[in-house]
Structure 1
Amino acid sequence: MGRSLASIPEGHNYLWHTDRGGGQPLFGWRTRYWSFLLKLSKRLPSWTVQAQPGSAIGPFHWENRRLSFAELCRIQTFPDGLVVGCGRTEMQRMLGNAVPSLIAEILGREIRHQLLDAPVNGGLKLLPPRRTDVPAPAKVAPIPSKYFSLIGVHEAHPGTGKGRQAVLRETTT
């Protein structure tokens, strides 16, 4: 996983290595879950933390590794220093199923303001500061030779990627 992940640019997933991406055609278009080999970008918001990740299911850190407990907590806007007494699988299940703390803070403030007609003082405490010192993306590594046998023509998922209503709208316009 780690060696093939290094061949995917920040902010992309396995679709990079399809005939529609910028890499080598190792996979068929939309033939895997979107979170397969999903790598975070330093400049974009994170994707959802998966509650039941597999060995190649992201999001992964842009340095081609699993996210630490502290990093997963930050994605979910939990305060620093949170401690849980369980293993990695259970911890990630809990974080993947959790509602981000920032959402609760925003809802609480709006309830206070709109329903209780009480003043809301100060800014959001759980909102992370905007970073301005974001480093450039790392260089993408070449595909490891053990994956060369996967290079070739792969069938795309037969669906359109659109629901029934989207297809219906296309045919009626």
Structure 2
Amino acid sequence: MPDIGVTVDGVRYDDEVQARLPLAHYLRARGAGSDVPPGCETGECGACTVLVDGAAVRSCLMLAVQVDGRAVTTAGGLRRDDVARSVRRAFRRFRAAGCARCSSALVVAAVELLRECPDPSEQEIGGRLAEVRCRCGGHVEAVLAVREAADRLWGAARQTISDRVIG
């Protein structure tokens, strides 16, 4: 069995794992169960989405051995992240996360998007969030919530920059 060294939510783990162990199963065994809920196990639903070195991946499609030497961040690991806090606050305000199964993955997807693109269009937000299929409804409220989070996070900075450019 291969040995891996991985940082999960800021904590370093050195473990011996089975070569074919899915990352989602490894993370659940490491205590990230509520942040990586069981889903389809085929990558279709996206409920198990986590960040690996900052990029969103479906953890059911990745093997634990593939994260050797890398950093994995679950929604739980984003608790102190300002972008994630803003997203969660907006999700609550818009009642955007309808169920516990997909809400963590929606937050992770939104955080990745807002880090890549601080001023995404509603189409960009909708496209990114559509990667997480929620059984409890559409993503209209989630799109509005992410748009609000972006405005709260970077709206003042955008205004200041445009004032300098125009002024």
- TM more than 0.5: no
Q: TM-score, normalised by structure 2?
A: 0.30
- Compare the two structures and name the one with the higher helix fraction: 2
